[in-house]
Every structure is written in structure tokens, then in C-alpha cells.
Amino acid sequence: MEEVTDIVNNMAVASQKKNRIRVSNTKKPLFFFVNLAKRYMQQYNDVELSALGMAIANVVTVAEILKNNGFAVEKKIMTSTVSIKDDSRGRSVPKAKMEITLGKSEKFDELMVAVDEETEAAEAQVQS
């Protein structure tokens, strides 16, 4: 029986998308998610941003920052409702969910080179 549980757990981990970022509204600053999304797009060509409830405003903001700065193009937006078990109330509570899939823009690579050069210049200035 333990083997079956291990197999199911391994399948669940494998089925999770490697290019998905779950955006929260409290755990990290917005630009953490913006920079992480840029790195994911470098690695996977696109990124899926997802959020529940109050974090939806943050996921939209992250997507808009990436699009307005020329890094990303919008591929897909999905909204849904999911049931989340609320232990304090002892029942399921519906939560809004949003998933935004972004792809690299045509000028993504040249913008990333410029960002990396700026970072290196700032680091060199701090060290001197």
C-alpha cells in the first residue's frame, strides 16, 4: 500500500508544471515574482502565473509590468473557482482563481542582455 502512495505522490509532483509561479499577496514583494517570471521565460520560453483570491490583483500587476516593459506577450487568461477546505469552519469555501500564461516577446532576449549589463554595472559600482 505504501508503494501505491509513493507512486501517486510522484505522479502528482511530475504533473505540476515546471514553469508555473504561484503568486501570493503576502509572502514576497511584487518584483520577486517579476524577476522570477523573466528567468522562467528564459528557461522555458513561457511562464504560467497563477493566484487565488486576494492575490489575483498581484498576478495581474506582475503580468502587466512584464507586458508594459516589453518582456512578455499575453498568451492565455483563465479564470475559475476552486473549493478550498477551511479548517477553521470545517467546510469548503469557494475561491476565485486566475491563471495568466505569458510568452517571450520578440525583443525579450535583447532586453534581458541590457538588464544583466545594468546589474553587473551596479555591482561593480558597489564594490569600488
Could you give the CA distance from residue 5 to residue 19 in angstroms, rounded to a whole number?
25
Structural domains of the chain sorted by starting position, each given as residue range(s) with its CATH number in brackets: 17-127 (3.30.110.20)
How do residues 65-113 score in pLDDT, each as one tens digit?
A: 999 999 999 999 999 999 988 878 788 889 999 999 999 999 999 999 9
Residue 59: all three cell numbers together = 498576478
Is pLDDT of 35 > 50?
A: yes
Per-position DSSP letters for 30-78, written without gaps between them: HHHHHHHHHHHHHHHSEEEEEEEGGGHHHHHHHHHHHHHTTSEEEEEEE
